[in-house]
Structures are given as C-alpha cells and as structure tokens.
Homo-oligomer: A and B are copies of this chain.
C-alpha cells in the first residue's frame, strides 16, 4: 500500500474528524496489538448504568492523538519549536499510552493479573513494537518514560492536565450522556503554552481549568464511581477471583485459551516474555464476558450466581456513605446470609463485603497545573485562583460501601 494511502481521515462524533498524518502511525494502528483495543470497553461495565457507554479504548487512543495534534499546533504557533521527529514521537506516545490495558482492567488487576499494572504492560508493548518497527519508536518511548530532556513533552502525555484526561472526560461524558463532564477541551488547548520547559496555561484560561477539575470530580461521582458501576465491578472481581480459585484447585472451567492461561498461572510482571505478552494481547472483553455467560450454568453456586448477576443486570445491593462501615454490620449480614443460603461463611463473603473508594479532583502534592500569569511568572493553579474553590477540590473524598444480596434487603438496617 502506498504511503499516501496511509494518510487517513476517521469520523469522530466528538471532534468531527481525526486525521492520521503519518504512515508509521497508520501502521501502528493497523497492528493487531492496537486493533485489539477495539474490543476493550473504555468504561468497563458502566454501560449497565449508562446504556450509551460502549465506546472503546481504541477510540479514546485516537481521540488523544487528535488533541495532541491540535495542542502541538498551538504550541508551535506561540513559538515553541517542535521538530517533525518530536511531533511523530508525541503522537505515538499518546496513541500507545494505554495499549497495556486488558479487559475490565480494574477487576483484572484485583483478581487474575494481580499487581501487574497496565502502565507496565503498555511499556512492554511499546518495546515489542519498537523491535518490530526497527527502532522507530525509540524517541516516543523515551518521552513516555520521562527520560527525554524536554520535560513539557512528558506533561503532555502524563500530568494533571494531559491529553489523556481531556479526551476521556469529554468522551465518557459524550457517550454516557452525563453532560456534567463535558469539558471545553478546545479552549484549554488554545490556552496551552510552554514556559521554561514547563507546560503552562495562560492566566485567562484559569476558569477553564477550574471547570475541568470540577468536571473531573463530577464524572467520578456520577459515572466512574456511580454505585451501580462500582457494584458491577466488584462482582466482576469476585467472579474472576472465584474462577481462578476453582481453576487452581484443579477444576477446568469453560474459557478461551488465553483466559485459561491466566487463570492457571500466577503471572507476575517478570514472567511477561514475548509469548506471555502475545497471550495477553489475545485477551479482551469478549473472552471475559463469554466466559461469564457460560459460567452462569456452572455447578459452583458462587460462580454461577455472581455470573447471572452480571449477565442479567440483577446485581448485589450496594450502599455508599461517608461514614465507615463497621465490622459488626458486615458480620451481621453475613450471618443472616449464611443462614438463608446454606453457604459456608467463606463462600458467603463473595456476596457480603465492604470496602472504600477515594477520589481527589486535584492532587496538591503531585506536580501542579501551572498558570502563566500576565507578568510571565508561573504559579500553581490553586494559588492563582481567586478563591477557596480549588483548594476544596484538592481535598480527597472517601466513601465507604457495603454490598449484600437483595434477599437481605428488607432486613438490612443500613440505609
């Protein structure tokens, strides 16, 4: 295929069109490692709450690249020099920043692929692709790892106001219909500049930053940490845990071959050779959901009950509140459920459990969002803002949850 045919235009309901301006980028997108992202949902099981939220990590990655292109244009217009090689590297780095995500990442990382984080796998994929493409990704990887001397380039990829966050807030808001998360990415992009090798926002963009942080907070509580999504994700985690447990005890569950592999073996990051990476690359939402579908009919009561919950959207009840859940509350419910169900306590714990979730719209201890003031000095956005508002957004919020089966509903004291 001629190089000219690799300059493609893709429809995007959010930005109108996404342009692929570079043949290498085109080839990376075509690679099966990247195409698999078409089969991995960006918002996990949020579609059980927001039926429109079926967009994929594939689309998000393209969206990030699009706003990277726009941002580079703005920075160059304002006088920052960025070479063609750096431009391509930035596009590649953002395109691949999430390539290490598996299906239902969070649930996976808390069950089957314990403590193997997707960032690490992203880097493995990038290195593998760098081999395949004759070292053409070297600069992209350097930037991604924070080893390139131009610091602002890392900030474009990964910071408290990076391409990733801008695209996912906008995209998740768009597809879920949670209008509260719709940020003005175009304005934010227009406000970007580079000063002393730092990514900064012009002072007049301060309200847009504030809006961005508020939107992020709202998306957390209304979408990402919506109690029903949280419940679904917890159930999925329990399912995968149970499936791994049964597999390791010698029972063979129906599952695709790559999923079997990860259920049978305790894979750590050190085990990720090319072969394991390939196996991982075959995993996507279809392996998990298909397995869960078939597990509905499994002999194991715990596995089949939890599986039915996901498939028929008939979930555990969840209560969320600002105060801690006491051990007494849990043991009380457990006891009752043991009595009703005839399960052992250990089994019942798959249905009755507690935990906490935490969110912070802006992290004051990390690298700040920098504001470029009119007098050309730089200030942390929290200091530059005219009131308490952003200080408030820096405060972490913790919520506590308690999950239990519907059958305990009438009896549950907890409200």
- Chain A interface residues toward B at CB < 8 A: 9-14, 16-17, 30, 32, 35, 38-39, 47-48, 50-52, 54-56, 58-59, 62, 174-180, 182, 184, 186-187, 190, 207-208, 210-211, 214-215, 217-218, 221-222, 256-257, 282, 286-287, 289-290, 293-294, 311-314, 322, 374-375, 386-389, 391-393, 395, 397, 415
Contacts of A178 in B (CB 8 A): 11
| Cβ-neighbour of A180 out of B16, B211, B257 (below 8 A) | B211
Contacts of A282 in B (CB 8 A): 293
A41 CB, min distance to chain B CBs, angstroms: 8
Task: Give Cα A54–Cα B58 distance, bound, in whole angstroms.
Answer: 12
A51 in contact with B47 given A9-B190, A282-B293 (CB within 8 Å)? no
Chain B residues closer than 8 Å to A286, beta-carbon distance = 286, 289-290, 293
- With a cutoff of 8 Å between Cβ atoms, the chain B residues found around residue A375 in the complex are 415
Distance between A311 CB and nearest chain B CB, rounded to angstroms? 7
Distance between A21 CB and nearest chain B CB, rounded to angstroms: 8
A393 lies within 8 A of B389 (CB): yes
Write the chain B residue with the least CB distance to A322. B386
User: Looking at the complex, which one of B32, B177, B211, B218 makes contact with A218 (CB distance below 8 Å)?
Assistant: B211
Measured between beta carbons, the chain B residues less than 8 angstroms from A174 are 13
Whether A11 pairs with B293 at a CB distance below 8 angstroms is: no
Query: Nearest 3 CB-CB pairs, A to B?
Result: A388-B392, A13-B177, A11-B177
Verify A52–B55 contact, CB threshold 8 A: yes
Q: How far, in whole Å, are A415 and B162 apart by their CA atoms in the complex?
A: 31
**A30, B313: Cβ atoms under 8 Å?**
yes
Q: How many copies of this kind of chain does the complex include?
A: 4
Q: List 19 A-B contacts (CB under 8 A).
A: A9-B190, A11-B178, A13-B176, A16-B177, A17-B190, A30-B312, A38-B313, A52-B55, A52-B175, A180-B187, A180-B211, A211-B214, A211-B218, A214-B389, A256-B290, A257-B294, A286-B286, A287-B290, A389-B392
Contact of A13 among B10, B52, B207, B387 (CB under 8 A): B52
Interface SS majority for chain A: helix
Given the complex of chains A and B, what is the CA–CA distance between A386 and B222 in angstroms?
A: 13
Q: Which residues of B contact A289 (CB under 8 A)?
A: 39, 286
B389 touches A50 (CB 8 A): no
Could you tell me if B395 and A312 are in contact, using CB atoms closer than 8 angstroms? Answer: no
A48→B293 CA distance, assembly (Å) = 25
With both beta carbons as reference points, the residue of chain B lying nearest to A296 in the complex is identified as B282
Q: How far is the CA of A208 from the CA of B313 in the complex (A)?
A: 26
Q: In the complex, are the beta carbons of B58 and A55 less than 8 A apart? A: no
Chain B residue with the shortest CB-CB distance to A191: B9
Docked complex Cα distance between A56 and B392 (Å): 37
The verdict on A35 contacting B391 (CB below 8 Å), with A51-B56, A62-B51, A211-B180 known, is no
Q: Which of B186, B207, B218 contacts A210 (CB 8 A)?
A: B218
Distance in angstroms between the alpha carbons of A313 and B30 in the assembled complex: 8
Q: Which residue of B lies closest to A291 (CB)?
A: B290
The chain B residue sitting closest to A42, CB to CB, is B54
Query: Are the CB atoms of A59 and B51 closer together than 8 Å?
Result: yes
User: CB-nearest residue of chain B relative to A78?
Assistant: B7
Known A-B contacts A59-B52, A176-B13, A312-B35; A415 and B322 likewise in contact (beta carbons under 8 Å):
no
Set of chain B residues within 8 Å of A13, measured between Cβ atoms: 52, 174-177
Contacts of A217 in B (CB 8 A): 389
Q: Do B293 and A51 touch across chains, with their CB atoms under 8 A apart?
A: no
Q: How far is the CA of A293 from the CA of B190 in the complex (A)?
A: 36
B35 close to A311 (CB less than 8 A): yes
Let me know if B389 and A389 touch, CB within 8 A: yes
Question: CB distance A388 to B387 under 8 Å?
Answer: no
Q: Considering the complex, give the chain B residue whose CB is closest to the CB of A294.
A: B256
